[in-house]
């Protein structure tokens, strides 16, 4: 999708040939970065996808390396269910033209460079003015992404089946902010204030685009969710406790 962008606006993706249209399912062997990369690769296709954790971190994986073969057997026998995971459809407009259009499974992040001043991000919900975030950045995340960067920025944990979108500012320059969860039916529009420099927009932590005051970012729920293969013995809150050490009690 990004290949046709002019060089200066090229995302940092390596060039990957597009996914073949006739896949039965996708097995992703790796960590969350690899999984997110695979979801970008399959684009709008509704092919079932299974993450198999290789290595340290794997919140998106349904199973671990040890169970690769039994998981494969289960899937090949056709005896599996899939769970849809909402994605966000993100479009960036510059002077009326779409300069980027990406689905994300976790989040988009607007982030200032290490030496830049505060970013000022004017935000609209369904075209009505919400606020101008003054912060290091802003995360717009799916429930799936709530346990990724949004959590580090102070956001809540949202079960993947809650149809909401969370907006979490990064180091907001005010005491009066809190993460905000809006219904997944809204359209979120973000513009930078004039004189914004050195601001990046990243898609699922995978690809980045330098943005400026001429750009408008529009985020909506994507019509095409990710179809994650669900292992029968897997339970969201167990993952939460194992991976994040989330707990109500002393651990």
What are the residue numbers of the active site? 32
By CB under 8 A, residue 125 contacts its own copies = yes
Pair 72, 97: CB distance under 8 Å: no
Instruction: Mark the segment that binds its own copies (CB under 8 A) among 19-27, 44-52, 66-74, 109-117.
Output: 109-117
DSSP 193: P
**Of 26 and 88, which CB lies nearer to its own copies in the complex structure?**
88
List 44, 187, 235, 242, residue binding its own copies (CB under 8 A): 235
Burial class of residue 21, CB neighbours in 10 A (0-12, 13-18, 19+): exposed
Among positions 4-23, residues that touch its own copies (CB under 8 A) are 12
Q: Which whole-number Å values give the CA distances from 60 to 68, 127, 147, 190, in the listed order?
A: 15, 33, 10, 28
Instruction: Mark the segment that binds its own copies (CB under 8 A) among 22-30, 45-53, 78-86, 155-163.
Output: 155-163
By CB under 8 A, residue 162 contacts its own copies = yes
**Of 178 and 214, which CB lies nearer to its own copies in the complex structure?**
178
By CB under 8 A, residue 77 contacts its own copies = no
Q: Which whole-number Å values give the CA distances from 218 to 79, 194, 236, in the listed order?
A: 38, 18, 30
By CB under 8 A, residue 176 contacts its own copies = yes
Q: Which whole-number Å values give the CA distances from 41 to 28, 38, 81, 88, 181, in the listed order?
A: 11, 5, 22, 15, 28
By CB under 8 A, residue 241 contacts its own copies = yes
By CB under 8 A, residue 60 contacts its own copies = no
Q: Which residue has the tokens 């960036």?
A: 92
**Of 16 and 129, which CB lies nearer to its own copies in the complex structure?**
129
């Amino acid at each position: 999708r990004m290949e046709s962008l002019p060089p200066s606006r090229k995302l940092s993706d390596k060039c990957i040939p597009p996914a073949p249209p006739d896949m039965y399912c996708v097995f992703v062997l790796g960590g969350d970065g690899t999984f997110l990369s695979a979801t970008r690769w399959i684009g709008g296709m509704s092919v079932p996808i299974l993450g198999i954790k290789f290595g340290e971190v794997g919140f998106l994986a349904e199973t671990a390396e040890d169970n690769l073969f039994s998981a494969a057997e289960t899937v090949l026998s056709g005896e599996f269910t899939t769970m849809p995971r909402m994605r966000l459809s993100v479009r960036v407009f510059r002077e009326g033209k779409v300069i980027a259009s990406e689905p994300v499974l976790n989040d988009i992040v607007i982030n200032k460079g290490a030496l830049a001043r505060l970013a000022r991000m004017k935000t609209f919900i369904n075209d009505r003015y919400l606020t101008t975030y003054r912060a290091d950045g802003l995360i717009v995340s799916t429930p799936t992404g709530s346990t990724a960067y949004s959590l580090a920025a102070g956001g809540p944990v949202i079960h993947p089946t809650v149809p909401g979108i969370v907006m979490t500012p990064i180091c907001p320059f005010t005491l009066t902010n809190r993460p905000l969860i809006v219904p997944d039916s809204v359209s979120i529009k973000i513009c930078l204030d004039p004189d914004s420099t050195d601001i990046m927009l990243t898609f699922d932590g995978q690809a980045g685009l330098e943005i400026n005051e001429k750009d408008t970012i529009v985020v909506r729920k994507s019509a095409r969710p990710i179809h994650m293969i669900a292992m029968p013995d897997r339970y969201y809150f167990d993952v939460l406790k194992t991976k994040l050490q989330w707990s109500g009690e002393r651990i």
